[in-house]
Every structure is written in C-alpha cells, then in structure tokens.
Amino acid sequence: MTDGWSRFALRFAEYYQSLSVDDLWVPPRFRSREWMFIPWGSKPPDRHRGFSDKSELLHYLHHKAPHSCFHSTAYYNDPSERKMVDKGWMGADLIFDLDGDHLPGVSDTDFPKMIELVQEQTWRLWSEFLEPEFGFREEYAQITFSGHRGFHIHVRDPSYLQLDSNARRQLVNYIRGEGVSVQDILSGSDTGWKSRAQSGIDSVLINLHELSNDSNGNTTILSELHEIMKQRVRHPDCELKSCSKPKILELAKQSLDKGRIDRLKADNSLRVFSGDGNSIFWELVKGAPLPIGETDEAVTVDVKRVIRWPGSLHGKCGLRVTELPLSRLDPDASDAFDPLNEAVAFSGNNSMKVELTSDDVIARISDFEVDGSTGDVFEVPESMATFLSLKGWGNVQSTYHRYLNALNHRILKSEDVWNRFGG
C-alpha cells in the first residue's frame, strides 16, 4: 500500500458519500451476484457479500468506502454462502480482459501510450474476432474501462452463460492461435486470424531485413527474435527442438533474396527458405507481436471470477471503472473514448507537489501531463497527485493537515472528518 494512503482513502470516502441510489449501476441479476471489497490498509478482502437492493449496497459504500470493489461474473442461488460449493452456481457472464502491463514495444511507465495500444487491441478483438467469427452481438455486450491498465468485454448472451471452463478455454485458445496452422489460415477465407498472420509476416520480414542490413549486427533485434524462438520451441506443435542465433542470422540473409519473398507472398505454402529456414520463419510469424492483445485466459476461463464494478474507483490509481458504448471503443471514431479524461473522478482545484520515485514516467490526467524521472518535483492537480501516488510513482510533498489521521479503524464519514478538522 502506498505511503500516505489515508489522504486518498478520505477522497474515496467523499466520492462514495456523494453518490445516491440513482447513481449506482448494478449488473443484471443483481441479487444473484457475489460482491467483494478490498479495504484500505492491510485488512483482508471482504467477500461473500450479497445485497438485496441498491440501497443496501449504497449503505455499505457510505460506511466502508473501500479501496476497490468487485462483483462476481457468476450468478448464484445464495451468493452470501462462504463456501463456493454451497453458493449454487447458475451460470456466468463471458469475460474478456485485456491488460496493457506487458505490451511489446511500450514501457509500463508510458501510461498514455499503453492505454492507447490496449484500447486499439480491445477494439480489434471485438471487430475482428468476437463479432465476425463468433457471432457475438452488441446488444449482449458491455464494454468497460477497467479503471487502470485495460478494458473488459462482458458478454451476457443467454446461449453462452452455461459454458463451462473447458469451452471458454477453447475460445481463448483460438484467439491466441493455439493449434492454428498459419499456412492454412493464409490460404483460406478472410478471417481475423488471416489478418493477424499477414501482419505477422510483414513484422518478421521487417525485423529480418533490419537485422541483415545492419553491418554491426543488430543485437537487440537478434535477441528479440531468439527469445521468440526459445518460447516457440517449447510449444507442443513446433517441429524444431532448438534454434540458435546463427540460424536466425542465416534466415535474415536469405530474406534479402527478393525472389524468395515474392514467391512467399504469392503462395504462402511454398518452402522458400533452405535448411531450417522455412520452419524458423513460420515459428517467428506465430510468435511475433501481433496487433491483437492477449486476453487474460484466467479471467475468461474462471466461471467463479469477480470483476471490477463499473462506477467504482480503482485503488491502484484513483481512476473510475467506466462503461462506454461499443462504438466509442474504436480509437479512430470521431468521439473515441478517452479514459484519461473521462474516467477522472477528482476534478477539484487543489494542487500538490509530487516528487517522482520512478524513472521515465509519462502520465496524463485530463489535460495535465508529467514527463520525468526519480527526484523530479512537479506541482500537479489533485487528480494527478492521486494517480502518481497510488501507482507508486511519486510521493506527495505538500501536506493538507485536515486529511491526516482521518482514518482510524474504519473510514469516517466525510462530514465527521470536516467537523473534526474545522473544515
């Protein structure tokens, strides 16, 4: 937990105190959902909760003001039972969770770029796979910004609610390309995977050309390609047992032959490279960073999962879990969703001085941007201070005494806090 968390816990309490019953969105079959809350500090999660109506839920928020809020993806006969076996599972939403914390080509500390890429990938997952290939319909889909590093796609089509974990795993495996023959995909009809494979071919060829054209040898690209091959040779459908860097360099030399590449693009089934080159090339295509992000398998497969509740605040950054129309997920739309503006919960005029504690931090909250490294001090709006502090990227230097010691064993109601400190 971030040092000085009490000031931000108080702001969370004020946020929840400002809500009314009408402000709360609740999932379908509300009374059949299990709820889980993470308190501030070191207390364990409070789960196995059920609520009969929104007033009960609001009362909990007003008195507890938690760090993070979740509801189950599953429906239960008795969600309050503490043993999962006693809850009486009745079905579960189908969830696709894309997180940007390990995206290739972007640093975790470049938050705007990471969010931009994961939004693009989530849109492509829907527009190139879930809708055209699986037949998912918009009327059964709910799109949410997770409040932190990614997006969630909730599918509530009644025909999918009873899918068990194995069936859900098959969906994920197809999206991830498990067991997919690249050559067969490329020679078949247009699909999402055909687009991905074509992008993979272009990506691999670009890297091989850069590798071969660098007289000094591009150690970065070579290491990246070698790492891909080390992962691929461990895969059960890979014919190769090993792949050395000299073999990759040899493939790079062969890729300079325009005649080979023309034949490759004309008929992807041709074996255009000599030796192990053809096998290495196709394994690189399978393992290449592709435009579709990797959905979190565990979230999709787990039929008893909990997921962040839209409208709640994310305790690791202070942004709001936010629902958005499917059309606005498209980053090229004229009214594309901007989570770093539209999911900002704190818009007060207070400013704070924050000293960065991480290197190469790039952050944007609303129209305010920070670009710096450890030791740099910025005067920022409260929303940015909250973000940097809860992320663990900075420490607030300016102190508001009315915020100190506002929390004892439980978060106090905001009006009590103001009275205590003469606010």
> Measured between alpha carbons, how far is 59 from 384 in angstroms, rounded to an integer?
29
Count other Cβ atoms within 10 Å, centred on residue 67: 24
CA triplet 196, 202, 206: central angle to 5 degrees?
A: 145
3 classed as catalytic: no
Cα-based distances in Å from 390 to 40, 184, 357: 12, 47, 12
Q: Are 390 and 320 in contact (CB under 8 A)?
A: no
Query: Which one from 108, 157, 214, 296 is the annotated catalytic residue?
Result: 296
**Does residue 157 carry a catalytic annotation?**
no
DSSP string for 363-421: EEETTEEEEE-TT-EEEEEHHHHHHHHHHTSEEE-S--GGGTT-BSSSBPPHHHHHHHT
Q: How far apart are CA 126 and CA 106, in angstroms?
A: 22
Given the residues 22, 46, 93, 97, the one annotated as active site: 97
Which residues share a beta bridge with 72?
306
Half-sphere exposure of 422 (CA within 13 A, CB side): 2
* Six-digit token string for 297: 């398998």
Residue from 274, 371, 313, 373 nearest 148 by CA:
313
Asked whether 310 and 321 are in contact (CB, 8 A), the reply is yes
Whole-angstrom distance, CA of residue 181 vs CA of residue 286: 9
Tell me if residue 335 is catalytic: no
Query: How far is residue 156 from each of residues 95, 106, 141, 152, 296, measured CA to CA in Å?
Result: 9, 33, 6, 13, 18
Could you give the CA distance from residue 223 to residue 198 in angstroms, rounded to a whole number? 23
**Helices and strands (H and E) in the chain: how many:** 15, 15
The active-site residue out of 99, 108, 262, 267 is 99
Each residue of 201-226: b (16+ CB within 10 Å) or e? bebbbebbeebbeeeeebeebbebbb
State the sign of the Cα–Cα–Cα–Cα dihedral 110, 96, 35, 339.
Answer: positive
Residues marked as catalytic: 97, 99, 296
